[in-house]
Amino acid sequence: MLSRHAGESVVIANDIVITILEVRGDIVRVGIDAPRHIQVHREEVHRELQAANLAAAASASPAAITELTAILASGATPETAEPAPGATAPEDDTP
């Protein structure tokens, strides 16, 4: 538990700075300075993203998961990997 006043900060792992910008009644405005690769979400948004990711993972076919696992194990990316036997390549819409 930390107590901070407006204008004071907390540093996490040397590269994340959380600053209390303003306190107005029961509303606290917080500023977060973090590297671009660090995702920062409100808790309710984070929960929604987790639920959507779980739903997407649950809807994937076992064959698709096996194919993706093989692609990742080979070091290729899905964009550069050869299509699986019997798979159809997406159509090119380039004029």
Q: What is the pLDDT of residues 11-57, one digit of tens each?
A: 999 999 999 999 999 999 999 999 999 999 999 999 999 999 888 88
Strands (DSSP E) contained in 3-88 are: 9-12, 16-24, 27-33
Domain that holds residue 70: 43-74
Question: Is residue 24, in this structure, part of any structural domain at all?
Answer: yes
Domain shared by 3 and 30, yes or no: yes
CB within 8 A of 44, min separation 6: which ones?
Answer: none
Q: Are residues 32 and 7 in the same domain?
A: yes
Same domain, 32 and 2: yes
Structural domain includes residue 90: no
Same domain, 51 and 27: no
Residues 4 and 30 in one domain: yes
Can you give the pTM of this predicted structure?
Answer: 0.56
∠ CA(50), CA(42), CA(36), 5° rounding?
A: 85
